[in-house]
Amino acid sequence: MTGNILKYLREKEYISGEVLAQKLGISRVAVWKQIQRLKDMGYEIIADQNLGYCLISRPDLLIPQEIQRGLSTNYIGKEIFYFPELKSTNIMAKEKALHRAGGIDEGTLIIAERQSAGKGRLGREWFSPVGGVWLSIILYPKLSPSYISRITLMTAVAVVKAIKICTQIESQIKWPNDILINEKKVCGILTEMSAELDIINWVVVGIGINVNIDHRDFPEDIQENTISLKEILGKEVLRVKLVQTFLQGFEKYYESLKRREFSSILKEWKLYSHTLGKKIKVDMGERIITGEAMDINESGTLILKKEDGELVEIISGTII
How far from 175 is each of 223, 297, 304, 318, CA to CA, in Å? 21, 13, 12, 8
- Total domains in the chain come to 3
User: Are 47 and 160 within one domain?
Assistant: no
How many angstroms from the chain centroid is the CA of residue 48? 39
The helix/strand/coil state of 296 is strand
**What's 31's domain CATH number?**
1.10.10.10
Other CB atoms closer than 10 Å to residue 36's CB: what's the count?
12
Q: What is the pLDDT of residue 174?
A: 94
Q: Is 198 within 8 Å of 130 (Cβ atoms)? A: no
Model pLDDT, residue 3: 67
Indicate if 98 and 173 belong to the same structural domain.
yes
Identify whether residues 130 and 152 lie together within a single domain.
Answer: yes
What is the extent of the structural domain holding 53? 2-57
Q: What is the CATH number of the domain that holds 134?
A: 3.30.930.10
Assess whether 36 and 155 both reside in one domain: no
Distance CA 151, CA 153 (A): 5
Angle at 154 between CA 115 and CA 314, to 5 degrees: 95
> Residue 214 contacts by C-beta under 8 Å, 6 or more apart in sequence?
228, 230, 231
Q: What is the DSSP string of 210-263?
A: --S--GGGS-HHHHTTB--HHHHHTS---HHHHHHHHHHHHHHHHHHHHTT--H
Same-domain pairing of 36 and 97: no
The model carries a pTM of 0.88
Ordered mean pLDDT values, 10 residues apiece, the chain (320 residues): 76 89 90 90 89 90 89 95 92 88 87 81 69 96 92 97 97 94 94 91 96 83 86 94 97 96 94 93 85 91 91 85
pLDDT of residue 101: 58
In this structure, the answer to whether residues 248 and 284 fall within a common structural domain is: no
Supply the pLDDT for residue 83.
93
d(CA 240, CA 62): 6
**Same-domain status, 180 and 284:** no
Beta strand residue intervals within the chain, DSSP E: 44-48, 52-57, 80-83, 109-112, 133-139, 172-174, 178-181, 184-195, 200-209, 279-283, 288-296, 302-305, 311-314, 318-319
pLDDT at 126: 64
Phi-psi label, residue 223: left if phi above 0, alpha if psi -120 to 50, beta otherwise: alpha
